[in-house]
Amino acid sequence: MTDLIRLYSYWRSSAAYRVRIALNLKGLAYDYQSVHLLAEGGEQRSDSYAQLNPQKLIPVLVDGERIIRQSMAIIEYLADVYHGNGYVLMPANARERARVRGISQVIGCDMHPLNNLRVLDYLQNELGADLAQKQAWMRHWMSEGFGALEELLGGNPSTGEFCEGDEPTMADCCLIPQVYNALRYGMDMTPYPTVTRIYERCLQMSEFDLAQPEKQPDAPR
């Protein structure tokens, strides 16, 4: 694993955003490979990219001969393989690790997939949903998820400065992009004070700040 890590990313992808945060928290340099999700019908749908990821999704992380797909699998890989670098991302204690995974999966498995580009495209192209209907769909499922997260985070003594304790973990890597999306679509976040507090705390750190979509090399200028 002597070659520079490569990350196949898109500036506005929530899943890629998670991994960019994790790479920064680990202090790992990487080569940013842009995969434009909209240009020419979506570069992720090309035959060449499908050979890298048959799901035709991003992100993909290439570390030497290893190809890792799915954002949370990538983050756990970074936590395991680069254990001595930067923040641990995954706590050592089994209970704490389970809580981090649980919070991450609320976002990565239940909230984000319903608001993914391919789902929104299907709503529009196959079911005839207009922009207002798509936005209502997104806000509904995000409010469902954030309501659960607020209860999980606000009422748990394990919540510290971050989702689990006082150091950022995979849970924070997942939370921040989801809040970014909510704000982008005009959601009122005042019902979720703990979520908002953690979001604001994370963005005080350069590792989170530099991972923001607008600061990526393929973001519109």
> Tens of pLDDT along 189-215?
999 999 999 999 999 999 999 999 999
Q: Stretch 19-45: mean pLDDT, rounded?
A: 90
Contact in structure between 185 and 139 (CB atoms under 8 Å): yes
Indicate the residue type of 164. Answer: E
Other beta carbons within 10 angstroms of residue 158's beta carbon come to 14
Do 101 and 201 lie in a common domain? yes
What percent of the chain is modeled with pLDDT above 70? 98
Do 99 and 187 lie in a common domain? yes
pLDDT of residue 161: 97
DSSP 111: I
Count of positions (residues) in the chain: 221
Q: Stretch 125-153: mean pLDDT, rounded?
A: 88
Average pLDDT along the chain: 92
Q: How confident is the model at residue 1 (pLDDT cuts 50, 70, 90)?
A: very low
Final residue in a domain of this structure, among 65, 87, 109? 87
CATH number at residue 174: 1.20.1050.10
How many domains, in total, are found in the chain? 2
* Closest to 181 measured CA to CA, from 46, 5, 12: 12
DSSP 169: B
Do 149 and 176 lie in a common domain? yes
The answer to whether residue 113 scores a pLDDT higher than 80 is no
Distance CA 6, CA 93 (A): 30
- Neighbour-count burial of 28, counting CB atoms closer than 10 A to its CB (0-12 exposed, 13-18 middle, 19+ buried): middle
Do 152 and 52 lie in a common domain? no
pLDDT of residue 42: 80
Distance CA 114, CA 108 (A): 10
Residue 137 maps to a domain: yes
Full domain range(s) for residue 144: 94-207
Q: Which residue has the tokens 């202090």?
A: 27
Final residue in a domain of this structure, among 72, 87, 102? 87
Q: How confident is the model at residue 156 (pLDDT cuts 50, 70, 90)?
A: very high
CATH number at residue 48: 3.40.30.10
pTM exceeds 0.75, yes or no: yes
If DSSP codes are grouped into helix, strand and coil, which group holds residue 71? helix
CB proximity list for 195: less than 8 A, separation 6 or greater? 146, 149, 150, 153, 175, 179, 189
Final residue in a domain of this structure, among 29, 63, 87? 87
Residue 217 maps to a domain: no
Distance CA 18, CA 104 (A): 10
**pLDDT-wise least confident of 75-84, 103-112, 153-162, 197-206:** 103-112
Do 101 and 164 lie in a common domain? yes
24, 28, 29, 33: CA torsion to nearest 10? -70
pLDDT of residue 116: 74
